[in-house]
Amino acid sequence: MMVLKTAPILVYGGVNNNKNNTPDSKLGVSGFVFCRRPSFFNFKVQRDWECLSQRAITHMKDEIPSATTQITPAGGFYRDLNSLPKPLSAADFSAATSNGKEVHVAYQGVPGAYSEAAALKAYPNCETVPCDLYEAAFKAVELWIVDKAVLPIENSVGGSIHRNYDLLLRHRLHIVGEVQLVVNHCLLGLRGVRKNELKRVLSHPQALDQCETTLNELGLTRVSVDDTAYAAQIVASEGVRETGAVASVRAAEIYGLDVLAERIQDESDNITRFLILAREPIIPGTDKPYTTSIVFSLEEGPGILFKALAVFALRDINLSKIESRPQKMRPLRVVDDSNWANATYFDYLFYIDFEASMAEPRAQSALGHLQEFAKFI
Protein backbone atom coordinates (compact mmCIF):
# COMPACT_ATOMS: atom_id res chain seq x y z
CA MET A 1 0.00 0.00 0.00
CA MET A 2 1.38 3.38 -0.95
CA VAL A 3 2.22 5.87 1.78
CA LEU A 4 0.79 9.24 0.84
CA LYS A 5 2.45 12.61 1.20
CA THR A 6 -0.66 14.66 0.84
CA ALA A 7 -2.31 17.96 1.30
CA PRO A 8 -5.44 17.91 3.50
CA ILE A 9 -7.87 15.34 2.09
CA LEU A 10 -11.61 15.99 1.92
CA VAL A 11 -13.73 13.00 1.00
CA TYR A 12 -16.98 11.17 1.57
CA GLY A 13 -17.91 7.58 0.98
CA GLY A 14 -21.16 5.74 0.49
CA VAL A 15 -22.20 2.23 -0.40
CA ASN A 16 -24.07 1.06 -3.49
CA ASN A 17 -25.69 -2.20 -2.46
CA ASN A 18 -29.23 -3.47 -2.34
CA LYS A 19 -29.00 -5.69 0.73
CA ASN A 20 -30.72 -4.74 3.94
CA ASN A 21 -28.30 -6.52 6.22
CA THR A 22 -27.21 -3.65 8.46
CA PRO A 23 -29.16 -1.62 11.00
CA ASP A 24 -28.52 1.56 9.03
CA SER A 25 -29.90 0.02 5.84
CA LYS A 26 -33.38 0.75 7.11
CA LEU A 27 -32.71 4.48 7.13
CA GLY A 28 -32.64 4.99 3.38
CA VAL A 29 -29.25 6.67 3.47
CA SER A 30 -25.83 6.14 1.97
CA GLY A 31 -22.69 6.92 3.90
CA PHE A 32 -20.28 9.80 3.61
CA VAL A 33 -17.34 11.20 5.53
CA PHE A 34 -15.10 14.23 5.48
CA CYS A 35 -11.68 14.01 7.03
CA ARG A 36 -10.76 16.56 9.64
CA ARG A 37 -7.55 18.50 9.29
CA PRO A 38 -6.12 21.39 11.35
CA SER A 39 -7.12 23.80 8.57
CA PHE A 40 -8.93 23.16 5.30
CA PHE A 41 -7.56 26.40 3.87
CA ASN A 42 -3.89 25.54 4.35
CA PHE A 43 -2.91 24.73 0.77
CA LYS A 44 0.66 23.71 1.66
CA VAL A 45 1.49 20.05 1.32
CA GLN A 46 1.27 18.18 4.63
CA ARG A 47 3.38 15.19 5.61
CA ASP A 48 0.57 12.96 6.80
CA TRP A 49 -3.08 12.26 6.22
CA GLU A 50 -6.00 10.81 8.13
CA CYS A 51 -7.78 7.64 7.08
CA LEU A 52 -11.36 8.47 6.07
CA SER A 53 -14.51 6.74 7.17
CA GLN A 54 -17.41 5.24 5.29
CA ARG A 55 -20.30 2.90 5.97
CA ALA A 56 -22.37 0.29 4.23
CA ILE A 57 -26.04 1.18 3.99
CA THR A 58 -28.73 1.19 1.33
CA HIS A 59 -31.17 3.58 -0.30
CA MET A 60 -34.88 3.48 0.51
CA LYS A 61 -37.29 4.50 -2.21
CA ASP A 62 -39.87 7.19 -1.49
CA GLU A 63 -43.51 6.37 -1.87
CA ILE A 64 -45.02 8.16 -4.84
CA PRO A 65 -47.85 10.38 -3.53
CA SER A 66 -51.35 9.77 -4.76
CA ALA A 67 -53.02 12.19 -7.12
CA THR A 68 -54.96 13.80 -4.26
CA THR A 69 -54.44 13.99 -0.55
CA GLN A 70 -57.12 14.44 2.07
CA ILE A 71 -55.93 16.75 4.85
CA THR A 72 -57.50 16.16 8.24
CA PRO A 73 -57.55 18.73 11.06
CA ALA A 74 -54.25 19.37 12.75
CA GLY A 75 -54.74 16.55 15.29
CA GLY A 76 -51.27 15.41 16.26
CA PHE A 77 -49.69 18.43 14.60
CA TYR A 78 -49.36 21.99 15.83
CA ARG A 79 -52.66 23.84 16.35
CA ASP A 80 -51.09 27.04 17.68
CA LEU A 81 -48.43 28.62 15.47
CA ASN A 82 -46.82 30.16 18.55
CA SER A 83 -46.14 26.66 19.87
CA LEU A 84 -43.91 25.76 16.90
CA PRO A 85 -40.18 25.47 17.64
CA LYS A 86 -38.40 28.64 16.60
CA PRO A 87 -35.39 28.28 14.26
CA LEU A 88 -32.02 28.45 15.99
CA SER A 89 -29.76 31.41 15.28
CA ALA A 90 -26.23 32.16 16.40
CA ALA A 91 -27.58 33.97 19.47
CA ASP A 92 -29.22 30.76 20.73
CA PHE A 93 -26.11 28.60 20.82
CA SER A 94 -25.04 29.47 24.36
CA ALA A 95 -28.40 28.53 25.81
CA ALA A 96 -29.05 25.09 24.33
CA THR A 97 -27.48 21.68 24.71
CA SER A 98 -28.33 18.20 23.46
CA ASN A 99 -28.82 15.84 26.41
CA GLY A 100 -30.42 12.46 26.74
CA LYS A 101 -30.57 9.46 24.45
CA GLU A 102 -32.87 10.84 21.74
CA VAL A 103 -31.11 11.82 18.51
CA HIS A 104 -31.38 15.55 17.85
CA VAL A 105 -31.11 16.50 14.17
CA ALA A 106 -30.72 20.06 12.88
CA TYR A 107 -32.09 21.25 9.54
CA GLN A 108 -32.49 24.60 7.81
CA GLY A 109 -35.98 26.05 7.73
CA VAL A 110 -39.14 25.85 9.83
CA PRO A 111 -41.32 22.82 10.68
CA GLY A 112 -42.74 21.31 7.50
CA ALA A 113 -39.64 22.02 5.38
CA TYR A 114 -38.40 19.36 2.99
CA SER A 115 -35.18 19.26 5.01
CA GLU A 116 -37.19 18.24 8.07
CA ALA A 117 -38.83 15.47 6.04
CA ALA A 118 -35.37 14.25 5.02
CA ALA A 119 -34.24 14.26 8.66
CA LEU A 120 -37.29 12.22 9.68
CA LYS A 121 -36.71 9.79 6.82
CA ALA A 122 -33.13 9.21 8.00
CA TYR A 123 -34.03 9.12 11.71
CA PRO A 124 -37.78 8.44 12.12
CA ASN A 125 -37.71 8.84 15.92
CA CYS A 126 -35.44 11.86 16.10
CA GLU A 127 -36.11 15.27 17.61
CA THR A 128 -35.79 17.77 14.75
CA VAL A 129 -34.28 21.19 15.45
CA PRO A 130 -35.00 24.01 12.96
CA CYS A 131 -32.23 26.51 12.14
CA ASP A 132 -32.58 29.84 10.38
CA LEU A 133 -29.47 29.40 8.19
CA TYR A 134 -27.40 26.53 6.80
CA GLU A 135 -24.41 27.75 8.79
CA ALA A 136 -26.44 27.67 12.01
CA ALA A 137 -27.07 23.95 11.45
CA PHE A 138 -23.32 23.35 11.02
CA LYS A 139 -22.56 25.25 14.22
CA ALA A 140 -25.29 23.45 16.14
CA VAL A 141 -23.50 20.15 15.50
CA GLU A 142 -20.05 21.56 16.24
CA LEU A 143 -21.20 23.02 19.58
CA TRP A 144 -22.95 19.79 20.69
CA ILE A 145 -26.40 21.39 20.60
CA VAL A 146 -27.55 18.61 18.27
CA ASP A 147 -26.14 15.23 17.27
CA LYS A 148 -26.56 15.44 13.49
CA ALA A 149 -27.49 17.88 10.74
CA VAL A 150 -29.32 17.05 7.51
CA LEU A 151 -28.69 19.56 4.73
CA PRO A 152 -29.45 19.58 0.98
CA ILE A 153 -26.49 19.28 -1.37
CA GLU A 154 -28.03 18.66 -4.80
CA ASN A 155 -31.37 18.71 -6.58
CA SER A 156 -32.03 16.78 -9.78
CA VAL A 157 -33.66 19.87 -11.34
CA GLY A 158 -31.95 22.84 -9.68
CA GLY A 159 -28.45 21.33 -9.48
CA SER A 160 -25.86 21.62 -6.72
CA ILE A 161 -26.30 23.81 -3.65
CA HIS A 162 -22.92 25.49 -3.68
CA ARG A 163 -23.40 27.27 -0.38
CA ASN A 164 -23.28 23.96 1.44
CA TYR A 165 -20.19 22.86 -0.52
CA ASP A 166 -18.49 26.01 0.75
CA LEU A 167 -19.60 25.35 4.32
CA LEU A 168 -18.30 21.78 4.18
CA LEU A 169 -14.86 23.19 3.51
CA ARG A 170 -15.19 25.77 6.28
CA HIS A 171 -16.50 23.57 9.10
CA ARG A 172 -14.94 20.51 10.75
CA LEU A 173 -17.76 18.02 10.36
CA HIS A 174 -17.87 14.51 8.90
CA ILE A 175 -20.41 13.35 6.33
CA VAL A 176 -21.79 10.10 7.72
CA GLY A 177 -24.75 9.48 5.45
CA GLU A 178 -26.98 10.59 2.63
CA VAL A 179 -30.74 10.55 2.15
CA GLN A 180 -32.66 11.10 -1.07
CA LEU A 181 -36.11 12.66 -0.95
CA VAL A 182 -38.69 12.77 -3.74
CA VAL A 183 -40.03 16.34 -3.88
CA ASN A 184 -43.80 16.69 -4.09
CA HIS A 185 -44.63 20.37 -4.56
CA CYS A 186 -48.24 21.13 -3.62
CA LEU A 187 -50.40 24.21 -3.99
CA LEU A 188 -51.75 25.08 -0.56
CA GLY A 189 -54.51 27.47 0.52
CA LEU A 190 -56.70 28.32 3.46
CA ARG A 191 -59.47 25.91 4.40
CA GLY A 192 -62.38 26.09 1.95
CA VAL A 193 -60.48 28.11 -0.69
CA ARG A 194 -60.48 26.89 -4.29
CA LYS A 195 -57.39 27.29 -6.43
CA ASN A 196 -59.15 29.57 -8.93
CA GLU A 197 -59.68 32.06 -6.07
CA LEU A 198 -55.95 32.54 -5.60
CA LYS A 199 -54.19 35.61 -6.99
CA ARG A 200 -50.68 35.21 -5.54
CA VAL A 201 -48.50 32.38 -4.32
CA LEU A 202 -45.58 32.36 -1.87
CA SER A 203 -42.63 29.96 -1.82
CA HIS A 204 -38.87 29.53 -2.07
CA PRO A 205 -37.58 30.90 -5.42
CA GLN A 206 -36.43 27.45 -6.57
CA ALA A 207 -39.82 25.89 -5.81
CA LEU A 208 -41.56 28.67 -7.73
CA ASP A 209 -39.27 28.11 -10.72
CA GLN A 210 -39.86 24.35 -10.62
CA CYS A 211 -43.65 24.90 -10.77
CA GLU A 212 -43.60 27.62 -13.43
CA THR A 213 -45.99 25.94 -15.88
CA THR A 214 -48.78 25.34 -13.36
CA LEU A 215 -48.45 28.76 -11.76
CA ASN A 216 -48.55 30.48 -15.17
CA GLU A 217 -51.67 28.53 -16.13
CA LEU A 218 -53.36 29.76 -12.96
CA GLY A 219 -52.17 33.33 -13.58
CA LEU A 220 -50.67 33.65 -10.10
CA THR A 221 -48.26 36.36 -9.01
CA ARG A 222 -45.17 34.73 -7.51
CA VAL A 223 -43.68 36.06 -4.27
CA SER A 224 -40.35 34.69 -3.01
CA VAL A 225 -39.74 33.85 0.66
CA ASP A 226 -36.92 32.04 2.47
CA ASP A 227 -38.48 28.58 2.72
CA THR A 228 -41.41 26.57 1.37
CA ALA A 229 -42.72 25.74 4.85
CA TYR A 230 -42.32 29.38 5.91
CA ALA A 231 -44.57 30.30 2.98
CA ALA A 232 -47.23 27.95 4.36
CA GLN A 233 -46.77 29.49 7.81
CA ILE A 234 -47.31 32.99 6.41
CA VAL A 235 -50.50 31.94 4.58
CA ALA A 236 -51.87 30.35 7.76
CA SER A 237 -50.97 33.28 10.03
CA GLU A 238 -52.15 36.10 7.74
CA GLY A 239 -55.39 34.38 6.69
CA VAL A 240 -55.67 36.05 3.27
CA ARG A 241 -57.88 33.88 1.05
CA GLU A 242 -56.28 35.12 -2.17
CA THR A 243 -52.80 33.99 -1.10
CA GLY A 244 -51.52 30.45 -1.47
CA ALA A 245 -48.21 28.66 -0.99
CA VAL A 246 -46.11 26.04 -2.75
CA ALA A 247 -44.97 23.61 -0.08
CA SER A 248 -45.23 19.99 1.08
CA VAL A 249 -48.19 17.92 2.25
CA ARG A 250 -46.61 17.86 5.71
CA ALA A 251 -46.55 21.69 5.76
CA ALA A 252 -50.27 21.69 4.95
CA GLU A 253 -50.93 19.32 7.86
CA ILE A 254 -48.84 21.34 10.31
CA TYR A 255 -50.34 24.73 9.44
CA GLY A 256 -53.93 23.59 8.87
CA LEU A 257 -54.08 24.33 5.14
CA ASP A 258 -55.85 22.54 2.29
CA VAL A 259 -53.93 20.86 -0.54
CA LEU A 260 -55.48 22.43 -3.64
CA ALA A 261 -53.25 20.60 -6.11
CA GLU A 262 -50.49 18.02 -5.73
CA ARG A 263 -47.30 17.30 -7.74
CA ILE A 264 -47.47 20.62 -9.56
CA GLN A 265 -43.74 20.67 -10.43
CA ASP A 266 -42.81 20.77 -14.12
CA GLU A 267 -40.49 17.76 -13.80
CA SER A 268 -42.12 14.74 -12.17
CA ASP A 269 -38.77 13.18 -11.26
CA ASN A 270 -37.68 15.83 -8.79
CA ILE A 271 -35.30 14.44 -6.16
CA THR A 272 -33.10 16.21 -3.60
CA ARG A 273 -29.98 14.68 -2.08
CA PHE A 274 -29.31 15.52 1.56
CA LEU A 275 -26.09 14.94 3.49
CA ILE A 276 -26.04 13.80 7.10
CA LEU A 277 -23.31 15.54 9.11
CA ALA A 278 -21.83 14.50 12.45
CA ARG A 279 -18.87 15.30 14.67
CA GLU A 280 -17.29 11.86 14.40
CA PRO A 281 -16.42 9.80 11.30
CA ILE A 282 -17.33 6.23 10.47
CA ILE A 283 -14.64 3.68 9.65
CA PRO A 284 -14.49 2.63 5.97
CA GLY A 285 -14.59 -0.98 4.84
CA THR A 286 -14.04 -3.14 1.77
CA ASP A 287 -16.91 -5.62 2.18
CA LYS A 288 -19.39 -3.56 0.13
CA PRO A 289 -19.23 -1.37 -2.99
CA TYR A 290 -18.65 2.21 -1.83
CA THR A 291 -18.79 5.66 -3.39
CA THR A 292 -16.15 8.19 -2.34
CA SER A 293 -16.11 11.91 -3.05
CA ILE A 294 -13.12 14.24 -3.07
CA VAL A 295 -12.49 17.89 -3.80
CA PHE A 296 -9.17 19.16 -5.13
CA SER A 297 -7.44 21.97 -7.03
CA LEU A 298 -4.77 21.51 -9.69
CA GLU A 299 -1.49 23.05 -10.73
CA GLU A 300 -1.47 24.91 -14.05
CA GLY A 301 -0.39 23.05 -17.17
CA PRO A 302 -1.57 21.51 -20.46
CA GLY A 303 -3.67 18.37 -20.01
CA ILE A 304 -3.51 18.61 -16.22
CA LEU A 305 -7.19 17.75 -15.69
CA PHE A 306 -6.85 14.77 -18.05
CA LYS A 307 -3.89 13.53 -16.00
CA ALA A 308 -5.84 13.96 -12.77
CA LEU A 309 -8.79 11.93 -14.05
CA ALA A 310 -6.53 9.27 -15.56
CA VAL A 311 -5.28 8.22 -12.10
CA PHE A 312 -8.72 6.65 -11.56
CA ALA A 313 -9.04 5.07 -15.01
CA LEU A 314 -5.62 3.43 -14.64
CA ARG A 315 -6.94 1.58 -11.58
CA ASP A 316 -10.36 0.68 -13.03
CA ILE A 317 -12.12 3.12 -10.70
CA ASN A 318 -15.34 4.45 -12.17
CA LEU A 319 -16.19 8.16 -11.84
CA SER A 320 -19.87 8.87 -11.22
CA LYS A 321 -19.73 12.69 -10.95
CA ILE A 322 -17.42 15.59 -11.74
CA GLU A 323 -18.14 19.24 -11.06
CA SER A 324 -16.02 22.40 -10.98
CA ARG A 325 -16.41 25.56 -8.91
CA PRO A 326 -14.23 28.70 -8.73
CA GLN A 327 -12.24 29.01 -5.52
CA LYS A 328 -13.53 31.77 -3.28
CA MET A 329 -10.28 32.25 -1.39
CA ARG A 330 -8.29 32.78 -4.60
CA PRO A 331 -10.61 33.11 -7.59
CA LEU A 332 -8.03 34.31 -10.13
CA ARG A 333 -4.76 32.73 -11.26
CA VAL A 334 -2.13 34.70 -13.18
CA VAL A 335 -0.33 32.70 -15.88
CA ASP A 336 2.51 33.83 -18.10
CA ASP A 337 1.32 32.13 -21.28
CA SER A 338 2.32 34.60 -23.95
CA ASN A 339 5.22 36.75 -25.08
CA TRP A 340 3.30 39.94 -24.41
CA ALA A 341 1.48 39.80 -21.09
CA ASN A 342 0.27 37.64 -18.24
CA ALA A 343 -3.20 36.12 -18.50
CA THR A 344 -5.67 35.62 -15.65
CA TYR A 345 -7.95 32.59 -15.30
CA PHE A 346 -10.40 31.36 -12.72
CA ASP A 347 -8.81 28.97 -10.24
CA TYR A 348 -11.14 26.00 -9.75
CA LEU A 349 -12.01 23.38 -7.20
CA PHE A 350 -13.00 20.04 -8.73
CA TYR A 351 -15.54 17.78 -7.02
CA ILE A 352 -15.41 14.11 -8.01
CA ASP A 353 -17.37 11.03 -6.94
CA PHE A 354 -15.67 7.69 -7.56
CA GLU A 355 -16.80 4.14 -6.88
CA ALA A 356 -14.27 2.73 -4.42
CA SER A 357 -13.71 2.63 -0.68
CA MET A 358 -10.91 4.61 0.94
CA ALA A 359 -9.93 1.36 2.66
CA GLU A 360 -9.00 -0.16 -0.72
CA PRO A 361 -5.34 0.04 -1.77
CA ARG A 362 -6.31 1.11 -5.30
CA ALA A 363 -8.18 4.16 -3.95
CA GLN A 364 -5.27 5.14 -1.73
CA SER A 365 -2.89 4.62 -4.64
CA ALA A 366 -5.06 6.80 -6.89
CA LEU A 367 -5.01 9.64 -4.37
CA GLY A 368 -1.27 9.24 -3.98
CA HIS A 369 -0.90 9.55 -7.74
CA LEU A 370 -3.24 12.56 -7.78
CA GLN A 371 -0.89 14.31 -5.35
CA GLU A 372 1.55 14.73 -8.22
CA PHE A 373 -0.85 17.19 -9.90
CA ALA A 374 -2.95 18.59 -7.06
CA LYS A 375 -2.18 21.57 -4.84
CA PHE A 376 -5.03 20.71 -2.48
CA ILE A 377 -7.03 17.52 -1.93
Evaluated on CA atoms 323, 266, 238, 150, the torsion sign reads negative
Q: Which of 272, 296, 312, 354 is catalytic?
A: 272
Burial pattern 295-313, b for ≥16 Cβ within 10 A else e, equals bbbbeeeeeeeebbbebbe
23 CB neighbour count, 10 Å cutoff: 8
Q: How far apart are CA 87 and CA 46, in angstroms?
A: 39
CA distances from 133 to 79, 130, 164, 226, 268 (A): 25, 9, 11, 10, 28
Give residues with Cβ within 8 angstroms of 339, minimum separation 6. none
Give residues with Cβ within 8 angstroms of 149, minimum separation 6. 105, 106, 107, 137, 138, 140, 141, 173, 276, 277
Q: What are phi and psi of 60, to 5 degrees?
A: -120, 125
Q: How far apart are CA 366 and CA 356, in angstroms?
A: 10
How many Å is the Cα radius of gyration of the chain?
Answer: 23
Q: Provide the 3-class DSSP secondary structure of residue 76.
A: coil
Q: What are phi and psi of 332, to 5 degrees?
A: -115, 145
282 CB neighbour count, 10 Å cutoff: 21
Q: Which of 274, 312, 350, 373 is catalytic?
A: 274
Catalytic residue flag (residue 274): yes
Give the residue from 367, 357, 358, 362 showing the smallest Cα distance to 17. 357
CA distances from 82 to 35, 75, 132, 338 (A): 40, 16, 16, 65
Instruction: Tell me the catalytic residues.
Output: 272, 274
